[in-house]
Amino acid sequence: MVRRKSDSRERMVLSAAALLREYGASATSIDRVLAHSGAPRGSVYHHFPGGRAQLIDEAVALAGDFIAGLIETGARADDPVEAVDAFFTLWRGRLVEGDFRTGCPIVAVAVETNDDAPQLARSAAAAFTRWQEALATLFVRHGLPEERGRRLAAFIIAAVEGAVIMCRAERSTAPLEAAAAEIHDLLAHALRTTGSLADPARDRDAPPP
Amino acid sequence: MVRRKSDSRERMVLSAAALLREYGASATSIDRVLAHSGAPRGSVYHHFPGGRAQLIDEAVALAGDFIAGLIETGARADDPVEAVDAFFTLWRGRLVEGDFRTGCPIVAVAVETNDDAPQLARSAAAAFTRWQEALATLFVRHGLPEERGRRLAAFIIAAVEGAVIMCRAERSTAPLEAAAAEIHDLLAHALRTTGSLADPARDRDAPPP
DNA sequence: GTCTATACGAAGATAGAC
DNA sequence: GTCTATCTTCGTATAGAC
């Protein structure tokens, strides 16, 4: 595998996202990103002329895109339950793997209002909005009214993000499981009411992973 | 009104809580607390021998107690809908008053894992647990099975906290209203199923819709 | 792209005077 | 209870060599 240029830049963004998850936005300093990524100190402002704010912003965008991809994969399978499950499964895995020391990097940025970097709040909002629209579109396609679809999508994202925070504090997946169970029932009820889940036209045997 | 001793200490804790809400845990420095509260710099370690960690911890406890009080007031009225509504109303008001720049101080502490102050995570967890138990007890008293009551309580807290974060990012109360609407329906359904809301022993004239 | 050196500010904490 | 240093560490950012 020929590597024509350094991968320091990419590693720094990935490290920044990991540090956001674990320590929050303020604690994600350039020094710590360098230590975590092993990238050389000398090229920080070469790769990120915007400095620390640009680095954090790219980490938020990367994390937002990754999660949006998970949801949109479920959406392509045209399966609301799968899309929502992907969301829960992601966080359940990350909480356990990280020994309940990691959360959502988007949340970390959103809760630390930064007067000198208002762009960060906008990036966080963009991520939430994208997730919400992906879910809402899927719900509407399965028969929910436009407004209810959007409402339910926002609600699910809120419940998951809030549950992840509680799981961290309590060092237990219980709040996430509570949310998963309640959301599962609620979603099943909402979609069954529209008749969507009973649609016999679904001829797929195994949706793509 | 005779003031026999300085109120610097109390003002500092209140200021710390306000700063936690707006800027997060890492950004709530002693300097900023002093500037916000107007307290004298010289007596910081007199009032808080444990330093900054103790100050933050007391702010978390104070905020947690305040919100627990709101929920428990609804609980004393024996009205699940009122208890949950108090929760939503509090956050809606704070978001709007603070121009969407403030959130929950407990969340702020929970998402910034601090290796040197593990006590903070425990204090955050204690607050969440207390809210959850107050709500769960109320739900069980209204006919929900023990496990469902706890599950629903955790779920509601998660949804509210998550919604507050989304409201901040999007600078809109829409996510909170979405959560309020969904929770309202869910709660009404859960309690009606148990027959609690239809209980004729309730001498109130109009049960909430 | 990467290096070292450095300027500059802010943070937590302590010491000792009043 | 409150004051004023002061120490130390850490943070961002820049300059200039290689």
Find where tokens 């996202």 sit.
A17
On whether residue B207 sits in a domain, the answer given is: no
Closest CA of chain A from B144, distance in Å = 14
B192 beta carbon to strand D: under 7 Å: no
DSSP A173: S
Per-residue pLDDT, A126? 98
Q: Report the percent of chain B where pLDDT is more than 90.
A: 86
What CATH number did the domain enclosing A122 receive? 1.10.357.10
* Cβ-based contacts of B108 with chain A (< 8 Å): 111-112
Taking contacts as CB-CB distances below 8 angstroms, the residues of chain B near A121 are 168-169, 171
Is A39 contained in some domain? yes
CA of A160 to C1' of D14 (A): 43
Which three-class secondary structure state does DSSP give residue A18? helix
In order, the DSSP letters of A188-203 are HHHHHHHTGGG-TT--
Please give the pLDDT value at position B208: 53
Asked if the structure places residue A205 within a domain, the reply is: no
Tell me the per-residue pLDDT of A162-175, one tens digit each, with 9 for 90 and over: 999 999 999 999 99
Q: Kindly state whether residue A203 falls inside one of the protein's structural domains.
A: no
Q: Which of residues 32-51 of B touch strand C (CB under 7 A)?
A: 32, 42, 44-45, 51
Q: Give the sign of the dihedral formed by CA B117, CA B119, CA B125, CA B128.
A: negative
More confident call, A158 vs A2: A158
The pLDDT value recorded for residue A115 is: 85
CA of A5 to C1' of D18 (A): 19
Quote the pLDDT of residue A114: 84
Q: Is residue B207's pLDDT more than 90?
A: no
Digit-coded pLDDT (tens) for B52-61: 999 999 999 9
Please tell me which of the candidates B106, B159, B170 has its beta carbon nearest to residue A128. B170
Give the nearest partner residue to A170 out of B101, B129, B161, using CB atoms: B129
Chain A residues whose beta carbon lies within 8 Å of the beta carbon of residue B179: 154-155, 158-159
Protein CA B55 to sugar C1' C12 (Å): 13
Mean of the per-residue pLDDT values of chain B: 92
In terms of pTM, does the model score above 0.85? yes
Determine, for residues B168 and A111 on separate chains, whether the beta-carbon distance falls below 8 Å: yes
Percent share of chain A, pLDDT over 90: 86
Among A185, A200, A195, residue whose Cα is nearest residue A81 = A185
**How many contacts (CB atoms, under 8 Å) link A and B?**
165
Look at residue B203 and tell me if it is in a domain: no
φ, ψ of residue B75 in degrees (nearest 5): -70, -40
In a domain, B209, yes or no: no
Q: Closest Cα partner for A59 from A32, A91, A40?
A: A32
pLDDT, tens only, B78-125: 999 999 999 999 999 999 999 999 999 999 999 999 888 999 999 999
Specify the pLDDT at position A141: 96
Q: Are the C-beta atoms of residues B127 and A170 closer than 8 Å to each other?
A: no
Q: Could you give the percent of chain A with pLDDT greater than 70?
A: 90
Q: Straight-line distance from CA B37 to C1' D7, in Å?
A: 26
pLDDT, tens digit, 9 for 90 and up, residues B15-46: 999 999 999 999 999 999 999 999 999 999 99
* Domain coverage including residue A69: 5-197
Looking at residue A197, its pLDDT comes to 52
Separation CA B178–CA B99 (nearest Å): 19
How many structural domains comprise chain B? 1
Mean predicted lDDT score pLDDT of chain A: 92
Tell me if A157 is assigned to some domain. Answer: yes
What's the average model confidence in pLDDT over A3-14?
Answer: 84
Contact B149, B139 (CB under 8 A): yes
Residues A142 and B22: their CA atoms lie apart, in Å, by 39
Does a structural domain hold residue B208? Answer: no
Closest chain B CA to residue A110: B169
pLDDT digits (tens, 9 = 90+) for A29-85: 999 999 999 999 999 999 999 999 999 999 999 999 999 999 999 899 999 999 999
Closest listed residue to residue B178, CA positions, set A136, A71, A65? A136
Of A124, A170, A174, Cβ closest to residue B169: A124
